[in-house]
A = this chain, B = another copy of it.
Amino acid sequence: MPKKVDHQQRRAEIADTTWRLIAERGIDATTMRAITDALGMANGALKHYFPDKNALVKTAFVRVFDNTNTRIQQRLAGLTGLAALRVFCQEVMPAEDVTELEARVVLPFWQRALADAQLEEVWAEAMAQWRQQLRRILAEGREEGTIRTPVADDALVEQLLAMLNGAQVLAVLGPDETTRETQQAMIESYLDNLGR
């Protein structure tokens, strides 16, 4: 029997360095040769794991989403209502270094999703998942009394989703370093207002 290589782990490794390169140098500079160079491999080696670049980029993006979501789920353990919502927002917003890297990947992803139906589908699913989770958290908050705004939950979900996505743009493309605390203040005051 031949070489034994953990195919799954290798794929993950390649995808990880791919999105890291995207975050660092931009997606245009992330060519297949740049990826294999960063991995210390030759350019043809990717072929055994990804048929073409589209597949590679797609799984790289999916991996970023998965990372974000599992991180959220971990930090969300045991929390409900407004407290859960606060953690959710903090974890998605580019307040830390990890989240800023993720933001630098999401913007190119959006651009590519405009022209690739598969990527758009991935994004749509991610947003559907977030919508569902936010709705559940809001319902919890209503029940336990931590959320008392007269605004309908559906509108709140859209507001939150839009704010979180927009915050990514403002954080990564804003030159001001104030954005760090400004964004914290922004989301905090919004959340405070939900409890009246």
Contact = CB atoms under 8 A, between A and B. Distances in A.
Contact of A162 (B120, B121, B123, B163): B163
B104 A114 contact: yes
Nearest to A109: B111
A6 B127 CA distance: 48
A163 B170 contact: no
Interface residues of A, number: 47
A172 B107 contact: no
A173 B110 contact: yes
Main SS class of interface, A: helix
Interface string A128-166: 000000000000000000000111101100110111111
A43 interface: no
A21 interface: no
B165 A169 contact: yes
B173 A114 contact: yes
A44 interface: no
A68 interface: no
B114 A170 contact: no
B175 A158 contact: no
A196 to B, nearest CB: 10
B113 A173 contact: yes
A174 B126 CA distance: 11
A166 B155 contact: no
13 contacts: A26-B111, A107-B111, A108-B111, A114-B173, A124-B173, A151-B189, A152-B185, A158-B185, A159-B163, A159-B189, A163-B163, A166-B169, A193-B193
Shortest 3 CB-CB distances between A and B: which pairs?
A166-B166, A162-B166, A165-B166
Interface of A: 25-29, 104, 107-108, 110-111, 113-115, 120-121, 123-124, 127, 149-152, 154-155, 158-159, 161-167, 169-170, 172-175, 182-183, 185-186, 189-190, 192-193
